[in-house]
Structure 1
């Protein structure tokens, strides 16, 4: 179901006629909302003045069941898309595409959603859940729909890259995990580390396998501890 902001309330709407400029999504599970304030603030950072619209959003999301709503800006028009959540996965397989990522505005969620969706569809066709995004220098930015982190020397590390969307899941985790670090990481390094993929829908999931640029599937050589993964998700309210 889609709602359009009239300026004073949300009214049922047809599909917006234009592409998304800015978007944000979050999980609602039987009324329990994961990190709404952070998603709200990220959206406001790109669409200042949307406070009244955002104040009406929670009341339009059902309190029973699992939902993955999305707020959208199409130019000056604001929309809420109320969507049932997909089945949550417990682990992740990542595909390493043969070429570097091509997002036009990587620091804003919205303009490159269609490109990322097409890349994820290619990943699905190869048996993976998401696609790694890397740049010409061989450094990892993130995944098409996930932040990336790994265990290194007893602490949680995050990929550092200038072409990286400010992840709500990563920010919420960093606020609660002591001693975390961040550094640049190459594709070659990452595939041999115990890696997590994290996003608003699935939370943190261990990367259990990889698909190479040539389509070869292989198990991860190292995986994070299940207990650590559960602890991370509890910390961020999952």
Structure 2
């Protein structure tokens, strides 16, 4: 069965829709989803038939003139098809970016609480922060810009790209099918995130215009 990925306006979600999203029984409850509906413009759902497999709240906008895809909240159901669902949700995000920002380089950013979810950004260049790489001034500046956009800047540390608390009203929720295949250096880096206290790390990367044409092309 083919994966059906659809994007609509988040403002059009009904109480029944929100209950369905919360009923996927992963990271987010109705209260967090209501906030996401207020904060983000688009809702993307991924389904096999009528069965919800994952969803994303996101926004396409410019920060300081630079085109951005901001993933405010994403959750993928823990099934054997989770990798396919993640690819479908990210592919839709890239397609929307291509339609909105043709011929431009685009920043893609989100919040993370574990190393597994970083696979969502595997096609991006300049992924920041990364293990054993010291971010320079402009890279740290982008982290601060995104932290402010995610409304976590008051608890944000620009050196570690991490907000210590109050940062989990939305993040990229994904668990690897085989945790042993997750890069050990990434796992070590993400251990510094106080996820049990509500902390999260801001992560971003770039897709160049020529790459976005390929990433955003629908099959």
Q: Give the TM-score of the pair, scaled to structure 2.
A: 0.30
Structure number with larger C-alpha Rg: 1
Higher helix share: 2
The TM-score with structure 1 as length reference comes to 0.29
Larger RCO (alpha carbons 8 Å, 6+ apart): 2
